[in-house]
Structure 1
Amino acid sequence: MAYVLGVLGVAIVTFTSTNIDDIFVLLGFFADPKFRLRQIIIGQYLGIGVLYGVSAIASLLALVIPAAYIGLLGLAPIYFGLSRLWELWNGGEAGDNPQDHAKASAGHGNIVAIALVTIANGGDNISVYTPLFATRSAYEVLAIGCIFAVLTAVWLGSAHSLVNHPKLGAPIRRHGHRVVPFVLIALGILILYEAGTVTLFR
């Protein structure tokens, strides 16, 4: 039971920390009458699916490279977390402008545009998912993929609700990006520990 809860917890924390800014992008799509509900759902799942698939394939490097060295990729989420902390310290705001994404997608199929925006917005996710998958069994990677699919539905539902209740979204827009850096740093440390990478520094 503890094992299952552990995998579930890691999947939830990983997805949430790497996709929190996706909420704001989805808010932009749901608020734009040019995009239909079906198009947004399909496009979002395609984008998340590509990020997951690329990361899973890249993690196969663990078959020929010791896990301790693969675990060095855990430095990536730590780097991104520190970078976001630096941006916040200097008064910068993390995240993208959904309206800019909508303009960029003009002239293309809505589903393809949404998928591309999701992939571009989640480009850093691959650096986080790859080392995580490389230190997990095939069963765990598949289970994490299923959890990601469920959480994507939760993200879509949440964004749709927030569009209809804008006041509820204000606190998230104001404080959400401040929490993400710390979660990314913690996730990177977890990857380094579980892969045994810390032994390389002894």
Structure 2
Amino acid sequence: MDLGIIGPAAGLFAVTNIDDILILSLFFAQGAGHPGSTRRIVLGQYLGFTAILAVAVAAAFGATFLPEAAVPYLGLLPLALGLKAAWQAWTGHRDEDEEEEQTRRGGPRPLEVAAVTFANGGDNIGVYVPVFATAGIGGMTVYASVFLSLVAVWCFAGKFFATRPVIAKALARWGHILLPLVLIAVGLLILVQGGAFGL
């Protein structure tokens, strides 16, 4: 097992996931004040990133669960979630059952976070596959271990930014607008960069 790749692995994770800190901050702001929201967001982030790793490792061994042509269409996931959040923010309408459900679950559900994480990581898969393919099993183990450790650091950073007084105040005031805008932007970026629908 080559421990010399820990540094490059950390750097690779950082450059391919820098945008996740903003998204995580918005999720943490959305769940602020709800008991258990941190656990649900962290769980969702780990579910999404583990799925990214699983696809990348499988592809490095030659299995293709996700055809390359399908990757750009992952942008539809954050786009749909962003449009739903935008509709709720625009109408300002939430019936009592939905309000009660929101309070009970305390912000975003783990599967919502996982879906956004996985969709936003479609380009990560393309970067990780050749790296994993040349790293061998020992190298892949180190990469995966470093990546999964850094997911916790990313979650901590997202929570940290979301709870800084100035940022928390801004997110509390504008988060219901920023979250849909960021999700829609991420979705459109994935679709456009991947050439989905001939864009």
1:26 to 18, 24, 27: 24
Deviations 1:36-66 (A, max 9, x none): 111101100000000011000100139xxxx
Question: Would the alpha carbon gap of residues 138 and 110 (structure 1) be closer, same or farther in structure 2, given more than 3 Å must change?
Answer: same
1:67-88 per-position Cα deviation (integer Å, ceiling 9, x unaligned): xxxxxxxxxxxxxxxxxxxxxx
Is contact 2:21-2:158 (8 Å) kept? yes
Residue 10 in 1 paired to residue 11 in 2?
no
AA in 1 matched with 2:22 = F
What stretches of structure 1 of length at least 5 have no aligned partner?
Answer: 63-95, 170-202
d(CA) in 2 for partners of 1:29, 1:163: 9
Alpha-carbon offset, residue 4 of structure 1: 2.0
Q: Which ranges in structure 2 are unaligned for 5 or more consecutive residues?
A: 64-77, 89-97, 102-107, 169-199
Q: 2:85 aligns with which of 81, 103, 107?
A: 103
Q: Number of residue pairs matched?
A: 134
Is residue 122 of structure 2 the alignment partner of residue 140 of structure 1?
A: no
Deviation by residue 1:107-134 (Cα, 9 ceiling, x = unmatched): 8981111100101111100000000001
Q: What RMSD, in angstroms, separates the aligned Cα atoms of the two structures?
A: 3.4
Task: Please tell me whether the aligned partners of residues 3 and 142 of structure 2 are also in contact (alpha carbons under 8 angstroms).
Answer: no
Per-residue deviation, 1:165: 1.6
- Runs of 4 or more, structure 1, over 3 Å off, are 106-109, 166-169
The Cα of 1:168 is off from its aligned counterpart by 7.7
Within 1, Cα distance between the matches of 2:122 and 2:83? Answer: 15
Distance (whole Å) between structure 1 residues aligned to residue 84 and residue 21 of structure 2: 14
For residue 156 of structure 1, what is the amino acid of its counterpart? C
Pairwise mapping of residues 78-117 of structure 1 onto structure 2 (< 5 A)? 100=82, 103=85, 110-117=109-116
TM-score of the two chains, using structure 2 as the length reference: 0.59
Contact 1:47 1:119 in 2 (8 A): yes
1:28–1:102 Cα contact (<8 Å) kept: no
Alpha carbons of structure 1 residues 167 and 103: separation in structure 2 relative to 1, 3 Å: same
Quote how far apart the aligned CAs of 1:102 are. Answer: 7.6
Taking the aligned partners of 2:57 and 2:159, their CA distance within structure 1 comes to: 29
Aligned counterparts of 1:28 and 1:22: Cα–Cα separation in 2: 10
2:166 and 2:125 mapped to 1: Cα distance?
A: 32
Deviations 1:151-177 (A, max 9, x none): 0000000110111126589xxxxxxxx
TM-score (norm 1): 0.58
